[in-house]
Structures are given as structure tokens and as C-alpha cells.
A = this chain, B = another copy of it.
């Protein structure tokens, strides 16, 4: 089982990328979707993981920044 976190901020780019990407993932990849606009207390966690912009998928210590919705700095 692989666990990934999809950080987003509810922006159109985020929603579009989520729909495209998450549909492609293997069934055994468990994805926690984190809306940083609704959970601002987790911005620090995202930053610590290396997230610089959203949307981003974090898995096994790797960060995939996907397209560009918003800079993490703008979510603080």
C-alpha cells in the first residue's frame, strides 16, 4: 500500500489536476486529499514536506508539483 497526500487549495487548476491525476492512480495507492484553504493549520506540514505550490502530490518523500494553482506562500 502506498500512501500519498494531495495538497490543494480548491482552485480550478487544483480541481482539474485532481480529477485527471487521481483517476490514473493504482487502486492500492491511498490518497489523502488535503484542502489547505480549509485546513490552514496544515500549511506548515506541506511546506515541511517540500511543497512550494499547489496542487502537489507528496509520496515517499517526493513532491510532484502539478501545474500551478497557487504558491504556498499565498496560502498563509
Q: How far is the CA of A67 from the CA of B65 in the complex (A)?
A: 5
Which A34-73 residues have C-beta < 8 A from chain B? 59-60, 62-68
In the complex, chain B residues whose CB is within 8 Å of the CB of A66: 64-66
- The reply to whether B29 and A24 form a contact with Cβ atoms under 8 Å apart is yes
Report the interface size for chain A: residues with CB under 8 A from the other chain.
21
A11 contacts chain B at the CB level, 8 A cutoff: no
Q: A62-B16, A66-B66, A67-B64 are in contact. Are A27 and B24 (CB under 8 A)?
A: no
State which of B17, B27, B60 has its C-beta within 8 Å of the C-beta of A20: B60
Going nearest first, the 8 A-B pairs with the smallest beta carbon separation are A20-B62, A26-B26, A64-B66, A65-B67, A24-B25, A24-B29, A66-B66, A20-B64
